[in-house]
Amino acid sequence: MARTSLTRAQTHDPRQLVTKTTEHDARLDSLMINESTGFATRTGAGAVPITHRNCKIVTTGAEALTIAAGALDQEIILTMVTDGGDGTLTGTFNPALTSIVFNDIRDWVYLKMDATGWVVVANGGCTIT
């Protein structure tokens, strides 16, 4: 079964998602493969490392995850690689989002830091509130 990807609607509000029939796995792979800074991994609850552009999320149960503020224009791609339960990410987001939930393996979100917080640039499968 082909996976569908989710993207922001024309309002640029990441909470208003529409389903597109694109192959988000291929897009995610191209974003990750072309990155030379390597990967970081967050296993279990705690702070997501922002020292690398790509971070693998490994949950061992229902996990509370946090993300610190980054440098202006910093980008990070977070991808769930092991699903032991939902991973709920909180931090300073713009616009005023409260959380990003990784529900399944290969759920991913692409974030970019602006002057007021992390902005969702693209999303594949995560629940954003």
Could you report the per-residue pLDDT of 27-37, keeping only the tens digit for each?
555 444 444 55
Q: What is the pLDDT of residue 95?
A: 81
Fold for the domain defined by 5-128: Jelly Rolls (2.60.120)
Nearest-angstrom CA–CA distance, 114 and 93: 9
CA dist., res. 114 & res. 60, Å (int): 31
Q: What is the DSSP string of 56-81?
A: EEE-SSSEEEEE----TT-EEEEEEE
Q: What's the whole-model pTM score?
A: 0.73
Predicted local confidence at residue 12, as pLDDT:
47
How high is the pLDDT of residue 72?
94
What are the residues whose beta carbons fall under 8 Å from the beta carbon of 97, sequence distance 6 or more?
14, 15, 120, 128, 129
Give the number of other CB atoms < 10 A from CB of residue 104. 11
Amino acid identity of residue 99, one-letter, is: S
Q: Collect the ranges in the chain with pLDDT lower than 50.
A: 1-24, 30-35
